[in-house]
Chains A and B, each alone.
Chain A
Amino acid sequence: DAGVIQSPRHEVTEMGQEVTLRCKPISGHDYLFWYRQTMMRGLELLIYFNNNVPIDDSGMPEDRFSAKMPNASFSTLKIQPSEPRDSAVYFCASSPRDRGFYGYTFGSGTRLTVV
C-alpha cells in the first residue's frame, strides 16, 4: 500500500488566494482526519470524517476553512481566502475501524506558506 498520499508537498500562495489541499487515504480505512501543525499550537485536529461523512468539525478555525470527502478515496481541505496566519503544515491521516483501534497513519503533509 502506498500509504496516505497528500498533495502538494509544498504550497506558496499570496494572501487572499484560494488554496486546496488534497488527500488520498489508505484503501479500506473508514476514518480520515485533517490536522494542522504549527510551532505555537502544535498538532490541532481540524475535522474528521467517518465513511465520507464529517463527524466533528469543531477544530476548523473559521468559515474560511472547508473540507469535503466526495468519496472514500479522496478528501480536500480548502482555505478561501488565505491569510498569512494560515501558514502551517497540514497533515491528513486515516484509520481503519475494524478489529479495534489501531491508531492513525499519517501522510507526509503539505507545507503551506501564505505571503
Chain B
Amino acid sequence: AQSVTQPDIHITVSEGASLELRCNYSYGATPYLFWYVQSPGQGLQLLLKYFSGDTLVQGIKGFEAEFKRSQSSFNLRKPSVHWSDAAEYFCAVGPGSNDYKLSFGAGTTVTVRA
C-alpha cells in the first residue's frame, strides 16, 4: 500500500535562510508525487508535482523538489524563505494501482522568524 512519511512535524527558519522539508514514500511502482501548501484558514494549494523525467522539478513560489528513487524521497526546497512561506506543507503520493486516491503525509508546519 502507498504511504507517505514527513519526519518533521515543525520547522522554524529565519527569513532569508534556506528551507528543506523531507518526504519519504512507499509505493509499488513509479510514483506520482506532489507537494501542497496550506496557509492558515485556507485550502491546499498545489506547489509542484513529479510524474517522470527530470528528477528536479520546479514549482510555484520559488519552490523545487528532487525525486530520489534510491532513497524513496521527494524533498522540497527553497533557497531563501519569505515570511509569507509560513504555512503547513503536505507531501502526497498516488494514485493507487486500482484507484484514484492520493495518500497524504501528516504535514510539516513551517514558522518563519524575522
Contacts and interface: CB of A to CB of B under 8 A. Distances in A.
Given A42-B107, A43-B90, A100-B51, A106 B44 contact: yes
B100 A102 contact: no
Contacts of A93: 44
B100 A31 contact: yes
A102 B43 contact: no
A103 B34 CA distance: 7
A75 interface: no
Interface size class of A (residues with CB under 8 A): 20 to 34
Contacts of B92: 103
Interface size class of B (residues with CB under 8 A): 20 to 34
26 contacts: A31-B100, A42-B104, A42-B106, A42-B107, A43-B90, A43-B104, A43-B107, A50-B100, A55-B99, A55-B100, A56-B101, A91-B44, A95-B100, A100-B51, A101-B51, A101-B94, A101-B100, A103-B46, A103-B49, A103-B102, A104-B46, A107-B43, A108-B42, A108-B43, A109-B42, A109-B43
A3 to B, nearest CB: 9
Majority SS at the chain A contact face: strand
A62 B102 CA distance: 22
A7 interface: no
Interface in A84-103: 91, 93, 95, 97, 100-103
Nearest to B42: A108
B97 interface: no
Interface in B29-61: 32, 34, 36, 42-46, 49, 51
